[in-house]
């Protein structure tokens, strides 16, 4: 099924015209979720996975025939996903209050579930750096209620961004956000972008994406600064393309920003978007998790 708001594209800057296909329609791959999140492309298996968090299930779209099935339910209320350099699935678990990895034999390994002896809140989104370190955000959405996890007090008492080193050691890398959410590195890994959805808990917390310079050691960050402010809804998950443009979820669809933070344009969608990823053999297609549905659209760039 194809569905397209009119107009589909909102072009703010001529550079955006070079990043889209004017005649590429928006395609709805599936609908029937409550809050779709955490899309990830499993290249070797030719399928997409995403979370339907309130329904505590992982969904799977098969690239070979377009069929959709339940991949795992219950699934410890997964949220964000990515793959590591070996193609293994890395998951943020609200219910497990952990970041986990599925090994090639199918077994599950806990990557991180505590910091300083205290349980994490509810890992939300995750990215793997080229050195194998795993960086993830830990807001409270999965412990705020029983809707997207299990209600519980925060043991840590703060919502932070963590780095899990290849040897398993965990360190705080960002502590100046109210509710850190989506995150991604620039293509050269000199910048880490992190979204703050803290407006859900503090009305005066403007919806934004912050950028942090990665120190020369590759494992710590310098002082952050604002990168982009949302003009509609919250920035949740996002991805960066090979040219460094940032494609973010927002209240009215997908917003695309240049590396210097200019809003280049939007892909308008009739549902609130929570997250997206590039997929397909050429990584030139966006999978967009939008509340009840998952949409896709071809773009004129590739995810990195």
Binding site for Mg ion (CB under 5 A): 124-125, 181, 236-237
Would you say 52 or 236 has its CB closer to Mg ion? 236
Among 284, 268, 303, smallest CA distance to 21 is for 284
What CA–CA distance (Å, rounded) separates 303 from 72? Answer: 26
Would you say 8 or 94 has its CB closer to Mg ion? 94
Give the distance, in angstroms, between the CA of residue 255 and the centroid of all CA atoms in the same chain.
14
Would you say 237 or 253 has its CB closer to Mg ion? 237
The nearest distance, CB 287 to Mg ion, in angstroms, is 15
The nearest distance, CB 82 to Mg ion, in angstroms, is 12
Would you say 148 or 236 has its CB closer to Mg ion? 236
Q: Residue 186 forms beta bridges with which residues? A: none
Among 111, 29, 90, 96, smallest CA distance to 56 is for 96
The nearest distance, CB 298 to Mg ion, in angstroms, is 24
Give the distance, in angstroms, between the CA of residue 125 and the centroid of all CA atoms in the same chain.
5
Structure tokens at 136: 């993830």
Would you say 139 or 224 has its CB closer to Mg ion? 139
The nearest distance, CB 182 to Mg ion, in angstroms, is 5
The nearest distance, CB 197 to Mg ion, in angstroms, is 7
Would you say 8 or 272 has its CB closer to Mg ion? 272
Give the distance, in angstroms, between the CA of residue 68 and the centroid of all CA atoms in the same chain.
21
Among 21, 95, 7, 26, smallest CA distance to 54 is for 95
What CA–CA distance (Å, rounded) separates 142 from 161? Answer: 15
**Is 36 in contact with 293 (CB distance < 8 Å)?**
yes
The nearest distance, CB 274 to Mg ion, in angstroms, is 6
Helix (H, G, I), strand (E, B) or coil at 117: coil
């Amino acid at each position: 099924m194809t569905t397209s708001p009119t107009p589909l594209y909102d072009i703010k800057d001529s550079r955006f015209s070079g990043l889209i296909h004017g005649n590429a329609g928006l395609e709805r791959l599936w609908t029937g979720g409550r809050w779709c999140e955490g899309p990830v492309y499993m290249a070797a298996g030719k399928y997409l996975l995403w979370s339907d968090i309130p329904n505590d299930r992982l969904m799977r779209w098969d690239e070979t025939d377009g069929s959709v099935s339940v991949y795992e339910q219950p699934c410890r209320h997964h949220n964000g996903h990515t793959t590591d350099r070996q193609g293994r699935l890395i998951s943020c678990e609200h219910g497990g209050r952990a970041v986990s990895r599925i090994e090639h034999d199918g077994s599950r390994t806990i990557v991180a579930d505590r910091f300083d002896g205290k349980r994490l809140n509810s890992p939300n989104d995750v990215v793997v750096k080229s050195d194998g370190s795993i960086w993830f955000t830990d807001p409270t959405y999965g412990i705020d209620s029983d809707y997207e996890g299990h209600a519980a007090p925060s043991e840590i008492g703060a919502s932070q961004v963590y780095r899990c080193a290849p040897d398993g050691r965990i360190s705080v890398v960002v502590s100046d956000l109210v509710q850190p959410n989506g995150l991604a590195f620039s293509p050269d890994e000199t910048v880490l972008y992190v979204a703050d959805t803290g407006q859900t808990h503090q009305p005066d917390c403007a919806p934004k994406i912050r950028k942090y310079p990665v120190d020369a050691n590759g494992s710590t960050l310098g002082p952050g600064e604002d990168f982009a402010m949302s003009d509609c809804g919250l920035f949740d998950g996002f991805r960066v393309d090979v040219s460094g443009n940032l494609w973010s979820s927002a209240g009215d669809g997908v917003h695309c920003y240049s590396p210097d933070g200019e809003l280049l344009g939007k892909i308008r969608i009739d549902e609130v978007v929570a997250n997206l990823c590039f997929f397909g053999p050429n990584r030139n297609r966006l999978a967009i998790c939008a509340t009840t549905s998952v949409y896709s659209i071809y773009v004129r760039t590739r995810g990195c």
